[in-house]
Structure 1
Amino acid sequence: MPFSIYQGMWNVMDCNFEWEIIPMARNEGPALAPWNVLTAGKFCRGAEGEAHSRNGEYHKMFSQFERTEKGKRVSEALKKIATEVGIKHTTAVAIAYCLHKVLHVFLLIDGCKFEHVHASLEALGILLSDARMKELEAAPEFDLGFPSSFIVSHIFFVKLCTNLI
């Protein structure tokens, strides 16, 4: 029996969804319902993100907010495109990325502030060109995707441990 919608984690930083799920959706036709589209604030800009971390605003229940190099690169790409298209919220560009990638996308977006709702609505008015989509896709480093990245990291870990013994 065919299914009508697929739900999974997907955002501009974590593109595992794009390896098999999106091609399957294009071929078979189910809609997509991605969650964690805003990466729980991990691409919040510079000092703003660090201030939220100190205040305990992000990840109150799970972990501390950590800015990675990948997050910084994606943040800068989002900020650049937001400035170019005249949008206030970088999160609106992240939402627009997912909306432009494939047809029939129903984003599961969470937010705890009214400005998050504004950013979500702002995303509906953004038209991203192919060049801007490629710029966003190039921001995070290349990732083999699951399960390949898991297998490669596991093999490396096993080799490392056997060399220590």
Structure 2
Amino acid sequence: MTDSEALDLDFVQLGGTGIQTSELQFGTWRFGKETEEGNVEIDEDRAYELLDAYADAGGRYIDTADVYGRGKAEEWIGNWLADRQRERFTVASKIYWQIRDGDPNSRGTNRKNIRHRVDEILDRLDTDYIDVLYIHRWDDQTDAREMMKTLNGLVEAGKVHYLGASTLRPNAWKVAKANQIAKSEGWEPFTVLQPRYNLVDREIEGDYLEMARQENLAVCPWSPLGQGFLTGKYSRDEGLTGESRAVESSRFEESYLTEENFDLHDELDAVADEVDATPAQTALAWLSHRDGVTAPIVGARTIEQLDENLSAAAIDLSDEQVERLTEAKGGPYAGL
């Protein structure tokens, strides 16, 4: 029996949708992803193993996008689901990024692109419907009313159950505007949000989270471990060295490997020791304890990494520990 089989993830309410979601969602952005050297980060066999481990732990929410692995992620999820009860799983996908060179209409949220992309997603997933369809980015070239009308048509056709908006930080007003249009027309609004949020990246605190709370929108953060920084794999003294320098960008180094963030990590390490957990598990536990957060999205390259991340669901932080971690960032985010 694997460690995953010993876990038992709970369900939480997915905002105002009325459905339940796993307290930790599984992200598949590395499925089929090719490195610059031509290697695949997670191949098909490993993808099935990871999906098995997540399901064994009681996980039921699978997050993907039509550009992950250039469609391979959705194909593999569809193959995996073929041997299971589709209704037991919530599957979310996303649309936006350009998929055909030289064709500007294969990008964004225009009606032509949305309808075509959704039909292709359904074919790859080999399913009749998508539980949650996210717009992967905001398309300033498409009128919000046009977009919401098109998305509503997908819901009415039964191809999509719920609508989500991913990575709109910190533009809460764009979501609010789109939902106001949808509600005034009797259309389906956005009910699920997917921003970047972790102990380091705190830009959604304030108006964004408050808007989500007021409107009863689910908040399912991506990058809960700050692109790996919060796992403890980087050293204050060494920074990016060897293999990590070849993988990570200078932008990562400038954004994460700062004195302020390493000071935060010192506090994270201290709390992790107190609760007998890893820094990654403690960072995930902090996020799950944040008011307004529904369910973080976790990913992993190996079964061991997935087991570690999913085990964070069993960690209970005290109010004092949550506050210490919150205050460790300092600046305008402290105390929010």
Task: Provide the TM-score with structure 1 as the length reference.
Answer: 0.73
Q: Against the structure 1 CA distance between its residues 23 and 63, is the aligned structure 2 distance closer, same or farther, given a 3 Å change threshold?
A: same
1:24 and 2:24 are equivalent in the alignment: no
| Equivalent residues in 2 for 1:107-122, closer than 5 Å | 107-122=296-311
| Equivalent residues in 2 for 1:5-154, closer than 5 Å | 5-45=192-232, 48-50=233-235, 53-57=240-244, 60=247, 62-63=249-250, 66=253, 67-87=257-277, 89-103=278-292, 105-143=294-332
Structure number with higher strand proportion: 2
Q: Is the 8 A contact 2:271 2:321 kept in 1?
A: yes
Q: 1:127-158: CA deviations, max 9, x gaps? A: 112111110111112137xxxxxxxxxxxxxx
Q: Against the structure 1 CA distance between its residues 127 and 59, is the aligned structure 2 distance closer, same or farther, given a 3 Å change threshold?
A: farther
Q: Against the structure 1 CA distance between its residues 71 and 132, is the aligned structure 2 distance closer, same or farther, given a 3 Å change threshold?
A: same
Q: Distance in 2 between matches of 1:114 and 1:39?
A: 20
Q: 1:31-55: CA deviations, max 9, x gaps? A: 112111111122343xx41468323
For 2:315, give the aligned amino acid. I
Q: Against the structure 1 CA distance between its residues 142 and 52, is the aligned structure 2 distance closer, same or farther, given a 3 Å change threshold?
A: closer
Count of equivalent residues: 141
Q: CA deviation at 1:116?
A: 2.3
Q: Against the structure 1 CA distance between its residues 90 and 19, is the aligned structure 2 distance closer, same or farther, given a 3 Å change threshold?
A: same
Q: Which runs of 4+ in 1 moved over 4 A?
A: none
Q: CA deviation at 1:119?
A: 2.2
Q: Against the structure 1 CA distance between its residues 52 and 117, is the aligned structure 2 distance closer, same or farther, given a 3 Å change threshold?
A: farther
SS of match in other structure, 1:53? coil
Q: Which runs of 5+ in 2 are unaligned?
A: 1-181, 183-188
Q: Distance in 2 between matches of 1:102 and 1:58?
A: 35
Q: Distance in 2 between matches of 1:6 and 1:23?
A: 13
Higher-RCO chain (CA-CA 8 Å, sequence separation at least 6): 1
Q: Distance in 1 between matches of 2:208 and 2:289?
A: 15
Rg larger in 1 or in 2?
2
Q: Distance in 2 between matches of 1:120 and 1:5?
A: 22
For 1:49, give the aligned amino acid. Y
Task: Provide the TM-score with structure 2 as the length reference.
Answer: 0.38
Q: Distance in 2 between matches of 1:59 and 1:75?
A: 23
Q: Is the 8 A contact 2:225 2:231 kept in 1?
A: no
Q: Distance in 2 between matches of 1:135 and 1:59?
A: 34
